[in-house]
Structure 1
């Protein structure tokens, strides 16, 4: 549900200008989501359902009876796998009956609804994810080769990292839309009205982490462009 990118390298003025502000926001976002999770994991959802049961209700009422719900180890490791059509919930979300459990489970079910609807940003993200995953691991290899051998490799590195930035940008509407779908489902006879606002607060905190990750990626791209421009000069 959460993620970010950090590019290695020396700490120079370009890192301070382009990357540091975004990384400070990312740190704040992680603190915000952690504090929200800790707060709302102690408050009952008032539904009488566990996170797994809430996800099942949402899936079934939308005709997604074939989407399985599985338990996955860890904390906040929740995700929907479109390849296998499996929704995986972490320990406390799967069996918990807190506002946090309800919110996260509904959010992940929202991704399954997107998949069933053919929601374009999700389809695009799923298609480019394998390529971006490989490219993000090779960016600095090509940048270093560019410094040592030929500037041509620097251009390749920048293009690879541009893919990372595009992936992060595409992820934003996917996550925001999943949260909107989750809240609509919760409002439709699952959650007491008094717990919708706390659920929204929990999901907003999660969305902030994606915004921060996108800004970090953009900052890193600007840093790469600045470094390579200075190198050419």
Structure 2
């Protein structure tokens, strides 16, 4: 009896490596946050109180601090000037919560001071969203058809996905800078002791690794698309 062999696409190695990197970074973030979410800061500040203090000490008084449901869904919305803190941050008095709140304040400070990479990232959002949604349909069409049109669709797909990759890359300095600002504001204003600042640094470093992993995964995916495209052309 004949059993057909299943085709193995060697480019899946790019997907696998990217997945492993993202899972490892996510696990590191969860374990680090969990560890320091059990350490109470010496002032007993909640994430909300820490955010308000950091914003005011940075001279920002027009940003509201609000609660948002979910776990680690914290973010700063520059359009409405609202800093939203999640369940794990808003009312928590942990060192981890203060660190996350201060990091989001770092984005508010970036917005207030016109930080260029933040402006660039914001301008890339529409293009990145469109690129990530249209890239694979274009690539699949290019892989399925023949002739010159195939190359056109493949190139358009690569270009579209490159916009999403560019967004991931631009995100890195924005996140690193926000963490740097957070650590400076927390230590410079005496809001945390030195050992607490070190703990916050570990939490924010673990969080930064998730963005690095996301960028690495996107780059690997782009490399896979390019390899598939070149193989199709040959």
TM-score (norm 2): 0.92
How far residue 19 of structure 1 moved from its aligned partner, in angstroms, is 3.1
Number of residue pairs aligned between Structure 1 and Structure 2? 223
Runs ≥4 in structure 1, deviation > 4 angstroms? Answer: none
CA contact (8 A) 2:40 2:94 kept: yes
Cα distance in 1 for partners of 2:88, 2:29 equals 15
Cα distance in 2 for partners of 1:33, 1:11 equals 33
Matched, 1:23 2:19: yes
Match of 2:42 in 1: 46
User: SS at the partner of 1:73?
Assistant: coil
Gaps of at least 5 residues in structure 2 are 1-6
Gaps of at least 5 residues in structure 1 are 1-9
Match of 2:122 in 1: 126
Match of 2:201 in 1: 200
CA contact (8 A) 2:131 2:162 kept: no
Cα distance in 1 for partners of 2:155, 2:166 equals 17
CA contact (8 A) 1:100 1:202 kept: yes
CA RMSD of aligned residues (A): 1.2
In the TM superposition, what are the counterparts of 1:46-85 in structure 2 within 5 Å?
Answer: 46-85=42-81
Match of 2:99 in 1: 103
- Structure with larger Rg: 2
Matched, 1:115 2:111: yes
Cα distance in 1 for partners of 2:216, 2:126 equals 21
Task: Mark the CA change 1:11 to 1:177 in structure 2 (over 3 Å): closer, same or farther.
Answer: farther
Match of 2:143 in 1: 147
TM-score (norm 1): 0.93
Match of 1:88 in 2: 84
